[in-house]
Amino acid sequence: MHARILLAFWLSLAPLGAAAQSEPNQPAPSSDSSQSSQVWATNLGDEPVGTGDLVYITVTGSPEFTRSYRVSNDGDISIPLVPKPISVIGLAPAAIAHAVSDALVRDRILVAPIVSASVLEYKSRQVTVAGAVNTPVIIQATGNLKLLDAIARAHGIAPDAGAEVIVSSLDKTTGNKNSTSIAIKDLLSGEDRNLNIALHGGEEVRVPEAAKLFVTGNVKLPGLYRINDAEGSSVLRALALSQGTLPDCTKQAYVYRMVAEANQRQEIVIPLQDILRRKAADVPLQANDILYVPASRGPHFASILKGMAGLSQVALTHGMVP
């Protein structure tokens, strides 16, 4: 008989022990009204949220409240049984948890709720990295995100990148788009730390491709070449890239340049031999120019046609012809 009574006594204590061990890290609710709810922020980032962000709310012991909530365009979230939406815009996760806890207590839904909040997606803090980067990406501006960090997340600058990176953002007050151009060479050198600007979300980081020009005709290596420095290019530089001219060139070369508001290219005569002999100044070239070096003898005519045929295909591919 005594054994049965002792067994019943221990069984009656078991639920109490299990309840005490179910949440060993949770402190007991305080009798103080200011401490009537326990708030736990269990998020990876601690950035204020904006419209479109995805917030996950956990209310211990209340699965009807525990789920993800999308911040509306008005900057609030709607909790079941809570009459009015809860404004969370500009709040960090810990403050969101406090706001939800206060609402549940104020509307007499729960007495001492244990609430945690985390952010699953910072859609309002997106930064787009595009253009001549190895892997264009959309990232979240959480933590201390800098321009070089964003470029690194895109796996660095692509080989066909131009000389600058452009950071654009929308001024929410005026609605105007602000753009800042930063020389890639200066940014990567690290000499001026102010160029590595902070990103807060909403920016577009774009690395334009380098401008290109085409060299064809009686040169050693016809092809499409990048203009990847701020000084641009010229006839002599273009010939250096194409490894110089072949024998029997004519005295003149030609540059074919697109004219603004026109559907055709303008032919510009270049005093090639005078430039090579330093009797005439070098001629600057622009993006998308075509430098054509003719040969003076007939046998080279076939190679010219071959080069021009390749020119047509490459120019169409790269949008160099209308």
Residue 293 has a pLDDT of 93
Answer yes or no: do 224 and 191 share one domain. no
User: What's the pLDDT tens digit per position in 36-83?
Assistant: 455 554 444 678 888 889 999 999 999 999 999 999 999 999 999 999
* Number of structural domains found in the chain: 3
| Residue 229 placed within a domain | yes
Answer yes or no: do 225 and 270 share one domain. yes
**DSSP letter (8 states) at residue 11:** H
Answer yes or no: do 98 and 136 share one domain. no
Residue 25 has a pLDDT of 35
Full residue range of the structural domain in which residue 239 is found: 211-317
Instruction: Name which of 67-71, 288-292, 299-303 the model is least confident about.
Output: 299-303
Residue 26 has a pLDDT of 37
| Residue 6 placed within a domain | no
Instruction: Name which of 11-20, 211-220, 278-287 the model is least confident about.
Output: 11-20
Answer yes or no: do 219 and 312 share one domain. yes
d(CA 201, CA 125): 4
| Residue 279 placed within a domain | yes
Answer yes or no: do 285 and 310 share one domain. yes
Is residue 105 within 8 A of residue 37, CB to CB? The reply is: yes
Is residue 187 within 8 A of residue 148, CB to CB? The reply is: yes
Task: Choose between 1 and 82: higher pLDDT.
Answer: 82
Domain of 70, CATH number, reads 3.30.1950.10
pLDDT over 60 at 313, yes or no:
no
| Residue 4 placed within a domain | no
Q: Which residue in 187, 206, 189, 212 sits closest to 197, CA to CA?
A: 187
Instruction: Name which of 36-40, 97-101, 120-124, 268-272 the model is least confident about.
Output: 36-40
Q: Which of 150, 185, 207 is the last residue before a domain boundary?
A: 207
Beta strands in the chain (DSSP E): 38-41, 54-59, 67-70, 76-77, 86-87, 114-121, 126-131, 137-140, 164-170, 177-183, 204-207, 211-217, 223-227, 233-234, 253-258, 265-270, 284-285, 290-293
Task: Choose between 161 and 172: higher pLDDT.
Answer: 161
Give the full edge-to-edge strand order of the sheet including 137-140.
137-140, 126-131, 204-207, 164-170, 177-183
Domain of 179, CATH number, reads 3.10.560.10
Residue 125 has a pLDDT of 84
Answer yes or no: do 219 and 293 share one domain. yes
Give the full edge-to-edge strand order of the sheet including 114-121.
38-41, 114-121, 54-59, 67-70
